[in-house]
């Protein structure tokens, strides 16, 4: 005999209006935080009746999540779709491939547009790309899918890119290497380092990329400065930003310190690095996929925070629709 059980989601930790870390206080308090990853099962009155613990290792979570993305990027059906529909904004919003409208492919599409222009300017030479927080180098695969689709298979990431990935995790880099063992090693270089502690000469890479990682390296402002310095044409970034006057430090669910940049932090870098920030998207944290990621930040403060899809261009306006970030500081953020 089998018994049917219908499970309903419940929220074990609703956000408070004001979070523990929202108050500007001079007091130095010690907060003990225990991080566990688990399923909790509650009865209708919210009482926990059963818990199922999962491993809490961030490298394992990232390996699972990002190898899954890479496998989806290699799916022959997805590649066929891009080849038939063309690599364009409409093709990214096809219901059959929901992965394509997620953040990373949308940012890869911006890189793809730049890569084509740089390739034209260089008469087909390789475009160098620095991927900060590269995980398993899954961006290489999405760019490969786009380049192959747009050239009817004549070129791909293996022939068009010189890829340099940096990550702090040996495990993720090893997986990244294994999954790209077919790529010539001189055009696929990986480096283990903290994201604020790399050192390349200015303008070493045509393009640079980082998806959220700059917010949580050891020194986010130095990391961003270094990224912009090593960029020759453009940097493509997802960054969490507040519209409050000053940026602030918080902590994310995995226990990592997290710096939320202010718009002024970013705009202050434009003159120093001879370029301009543009944005193609702004996703308010209230609508993000991990709304409670920032520990101790309440509903009111969350309203000021969001993720910008940014391009820092040293070569004038980007080759796609984007607004100068300075407009977001002056007016609303709507595109």
Ligand X SMILES: C[S@@+](CC[C@H](N)C(=O)[O-])C[C@H]1O[C@@H](n2cnc3c(N)ncnc32)[C@H](O)[C@@H]1O
Judged by CB under 6 A, the chain residues 315 through 334 that form the site for ligand X are none
Range list of H helices, the chain: 58-73, 76-85, 103-121, 138-150, 157-160, 170-178, 220-230, 263-273, 299-302, 325-330
Smallest gap from Cβ 94 to ligand X, in A, equals 21
Sole binder of ligand X in the list 68, 75, 184, 194 (CB under 6 A): 194
Coil, strand or helix: which one is 162?
strand
Judged by CB under 6 A, the chain residues 5 through 64 that form the site for ligand X are 62
Sole binder of ligand X in the list 105, 195, 275, 306 (CB under 6 A): 195
Closer to ligand X by Cβ: residue 207 or 211: 211
Window of 145-153, 162-170, 274-282, 321-329 that interacts with ligand X by CB under 6 A: 162-170
Coil, strand or helix: which one is 180?
coil
Residues 234/318, Cβ–Cβ less than 8 Å: yes
Closer to ligand X by Cβ: residue 118 or 211: 211
Closer to ligand X by Cβ: residue 58 or 267: 58
- Annotate each residue in 121-160 with x if it binds ligand X (CB under 6 A) or - if it does not, as one string: ------------xxx-------------------------
Window of 5-13, 34-42, 178-186, 207-215 that interacts with ligand X by CB under 6 A: 207-215
Residues 165/136, Cβ–Cβ less than 8 Å: no
Residues 194/154, Cβ–Cβ less than 8 Å: no
Give the CA-trace dihedral at 177, 181, 183, 184, to 10 degrees.
90
167 binds ligand X (CB under 6 A): yes
**If you ran DSSP here, which 8-state letter would residue 292 be given?**
T
Query: How large is the greatest C-alpha to C-alpha distance in the chain, in angstroms?
Result: 72
Closer to ligand X by Cβ: residue 133 or 275: 133
Structural tokens at position 188: 């696929």
Smallest gap from Cβ 135 to ligand X, in A, equals 4
Tell which phi-psi region holds residue 109, choosing left (phi > 0), alpha (psi between -120 and 50) or beta.
Answer: alpha
Structural tokens at position 229: 């310095």
Closer to ligand X by Cβ: residue 22 or 132: 132
Q: How far apart are CA 164 and CA 10, in angstroms?
A: 42
Window of 15-23, 110-118, 214-222, 315-323 that interacts with ligand X by CB under 6 A: 214-222
Q: Residue 280 CA to chain centroid, in angstroms?
A: 14
169 binds ligand X (CB under 6 A): yes
172 binds ligand X (CB under 6 A): yes
Closer to ligand X by Cβ: residue 163 or 276: 163
Judged by CB under 6 A, the chain residues 274 through 303 that form the site for ligand X are none
Q: Which residues bind ligand X (CB under 6 A)?
A: 62, 104, 133-135, 167-169, 172, 194-195, 211-213, 216-218
């Amino acid at each position: 005999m089998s018994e049917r059980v219908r499970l309903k989601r419940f929220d074990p930790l609703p956000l408070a209006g004001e979070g523990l870390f929202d108050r500007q206080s001079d007091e130095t308090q010690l907060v003990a935080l225990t991080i566990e990853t688990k399923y909790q099962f509650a009865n209708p009155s919210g009482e926990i009746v059963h818990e199922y613990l999962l491993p809490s290792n961030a490298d394992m979570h990232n390996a699972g999540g990002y190898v899954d993305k890479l496998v989806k990027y290699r799916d022959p059906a997805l590649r066929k779709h891009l080849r038939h529909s063309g690599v364009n904004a409409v093709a990214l919003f096809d219901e059959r491939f929901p992965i394509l409208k997620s953040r990373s492919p949308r940012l890869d599409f911006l890189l793809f547009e730049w890569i084509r222009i740089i390739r034209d300017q260089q008469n087909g030479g390789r475009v160098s790309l620095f991927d900060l927080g590269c995980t398993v180098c899954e961006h290489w695969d999405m760019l490969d899918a786009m380049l192959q689709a747009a050239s009817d298979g004549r070129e791909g990431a293996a022939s068009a890119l010189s890829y340099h990935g940096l990550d702090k995790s040996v495990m993720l880099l090893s997986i990244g290497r294994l999954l790209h063992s077919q790529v010539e090693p001189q055009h696929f270089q990986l480096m283990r380092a903290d994201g604020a502690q790399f050192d390349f000469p200015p303008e070493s890479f045509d393009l640079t990329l980082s998806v959220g990682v700059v917010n949580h390296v050891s020194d986010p402002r130095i990391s961003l400065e270094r990224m912009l310095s090593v960029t020759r044409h453009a940097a493509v970034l997802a960054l969490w930003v507040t519209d409050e006057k000053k940026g602030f430090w918080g902590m994310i669910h995995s226990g990592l310190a997290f710096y939320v940049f202010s718009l002024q932090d970013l705009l202050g870098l434009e003159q120093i690095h001879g370029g301009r920030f543009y944005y193609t998207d702004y996703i308010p944290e209230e609508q993000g996929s991990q709304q409670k990621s920032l520990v101790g930040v309440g509903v009111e403060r969350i309203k000021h925070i969001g993720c910008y899809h940014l391009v820092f261009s040293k070569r004038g306006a980007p080759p796609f629709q984007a607004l100068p970030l300075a407009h977001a500081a002056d007016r609303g953020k709507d595109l």
